Structure 1
Amino acid sequence: MVLFGIYLVKVTLLSGLLYAYYHFLLRDRQTFGWSRFYLLAAAGVSVGVPLLNIPLHLTVPHTGTPTVAPLLKCIPGTGEADPAGAPMATAAPVIPWTQVALGLYALAGTVLLGLLVYHIKALFRLERRSEHHQMGDVTLIATDAPGTPFSFFRWIFWDRQLSVHSANGQAIFRHELAHVRQRHSVDKMFLQLLCAVLFPVFPLYLIRRELQLIHEYLADQAATEEEDAGDYARYLLEHALYAKGHRVAHAFHQHPLAKRIAMIGRQIHPPAWSRWMILPFFLAGSALFAFTPTPKAARTLTVVIDAGHGGLDPGAPGGGLLEKNITLDIARAVARLAPGYGVNILESRPGDSLVDIEDRILFAGRHKADAFVSIHVNLSSPGETGIKNFISVRNRFADSSALLGSLLAGHLGRIYPTEKVLRTHEEHIGVLDRNVCPAALIECGYISNPKDRAFISKPANQDKIARAILESLADYANGRGGKTLQIQGGSQ
């Protein structure tokens, strides 16, 4: 929900920026066709660009010692696998406000989409019970329904009392035919859907309103090609007392008459080059909201990334995959992406070789590593799933390791289900117990679980895991830590 909220803010700001540019610099100053293109592009870009994920690395200065909440009592594990999982600490029930907000949003969006479907179905009901006249590729539907004439895609709903062969009728028919031929209903449905799904984004309503007005300008322009502008303005005034048109259709009389009459026959033709003056602004504004801020270490942090197993030790097998290959791929992804996060990554196992546990620890000491992160995958019954994080409470870096593990769990939890506790192991884990720096071990899902296996075997997801690890390390370097997770005993 937080990510979706950020997305809505980005859409609102970008659409507001693009609409403001239109309102102050383009409105009533450009050709109507160009204005239509700009408004459609502004809506599409506003919705699409924030979905892009272009990392923008931000350096956060170190402001002091991180505040770490007191650790809960460590519950030692038994050293044996527990298919049901380790017992979780009970807590007082809390109201899941995030889920409540998301549910209310979904409910409101469903209601708005339902209203849109209701209005469309009303048009289909009207079409079925009315008289049809085929006029080329357009269907003229004669009806006594209020609000006619109006158009919807290739249907023109026509007032039975208005002769299509009269001068008045011919002008109005040309107007509605322009809506059909220029596919204005497609534009309108696109904006209606956006406004229903992203209803808190107010600038989208402004874009929709302006686009509907541009549609009328274009249709009026087509209608006056064979009609005196003064006579056509009179026709508009004669229909001013008609009932309001259908919500999802284009009604002849529906939009502000004063502006439409003022714009009849008025078509500004600026130099062609002037239209492209908006391009730098358009691209710059769009790019601004395509970036996703990611933390970058204010000081260079040296971290050993330890790919578990290797060489003659394949690790856990599952689904034709081997743990040693998956861990090496993830470690390499961390090393490849690290420069953008200001973290110096050293690989304890850069290739498919068997590296002794003591050599991994000596490697960290020799390079004066600030932290050590060991990458593994788990193996258990097929029902076990999710990422788990392990630390040790047996060495002098227990508190720092707990902070590091908590940050890892937080960032990894954003991309895949992750246990919200830190685990220890009753048995000896050398890379944790005897390390020369704060250390954490990540079990990146279960190779025995088809869903986990499918996730961790895809390079794109391995990059996601790598970025989550690097974001955690950048926060760790910057002293950005919150509440340390509970520590529980458990087995690998």
Structure 2
Amino acid sequence: MNRRKALAFLGLAGLALAGRPALLLADSADELANQGQDALTDGNPAKALPILLEAQAKDPRNDRVEALLGRAYFQQGDARQALTHFTAAVRLNPEDTLSRIMIETISQFPQPTAGAKSRETPPRRSSPLAGEARAERQALLARNASPHRDGPFRLLIDPGHGGADSGAPGEGLREADVALDLSLRLARLLAAIPDGPTVSLTRTADVALPGWARAALAGYYGADLLLSLHATRLTTEPGVAGVALYTFARTPTDALAGAAAKAESMASGRHVADLGRGGQEYFARAVRQAAGTGHTVRAAALAAVLARSWPADAPLPLRVGAGPFRLLAEADAPAVLVEAGFLSNTGNAALLAVPEKRQALAKALADALLAVVREPAKIGS
């Protein structure tokens, strides 16, 4: 090796050594993913997005990065980009059940591209109420009531049941249709309020969604409150009527709370088949998190404010209770279940069959919820 080649070799070696600390200090894709996730948890998708894109450039086959990119775009309101990344996450990791759920959730909304096809599942049987629920959904979408409108309080509305799970069995109205129609009316009312909450829904069409997925979505959305709407049938108690607001308790506060919890559990089932493909792990983690936090205490405080704020002119009176409702135990957020009337009661069923009465009931719920949104300092944490 001559002198010129030796100097060139030493120069290259020096550059390599000089650059090595920088390489050692460079963040890996997983480290960047952690930073991006922290930004998303803080509610800052604009900060998270460039970090996650850098992570994607470092490791294009990292399914966690793709899932977080989907979440970042979704929080920014870009449903199409979110769908692209959630789909990539599932392609890379078929066990990513949460990304699968988000694909189904996003696909309930029409995408703003010509020729795009909605994946909405039509109701399994035609009914006037199902048609009215679809009309409410279109009205909600027409008002641009995005699930991620800015707001100080994050509300996740969960229309109970759906798809093959029609809710409490019986003649007449489907519980799933009643729950969806009321939920969409409520979301539409809240979306029209400038200082209202950020509103998300677990479903906007007649689609099935297992309870564990609803519970996980509460944490995914960072919900301050999960409000699950139902209208069950208690065939052994046909005289029971009105609106019932429930929080979680291992022991029911009364016989009615116990009967309602049992009825909802029997209607929904456990969806054991849906706990595969990675869902069971997420479900178990959500349960552990809920059990280790003050979600139940917080939910009781929120429920108390809702009850105090229930309008005197509401179409149905309200009662409060607690019981072993599975969804409320599993939810990764403070959660309240509302029986918006009882379909086993002929008077309640007749009221819920009238669109104007359902609108009045949704308005009463919206008014009570606004008391929670606007007076958070009065609510214990």
- Place the TM-score, normalised by the shorter chain, in its bin: 0.3 to 0.5
TM-score (ref. length: structure 1): 0.35
**Largest Rg, 1 or 2:** 1
TM-score (ref. length: structure 2): 0.45
Higher normalized strand content (fraction of residues):
1
Bigger RCO (CA 8 Å, 6+ sep): 1
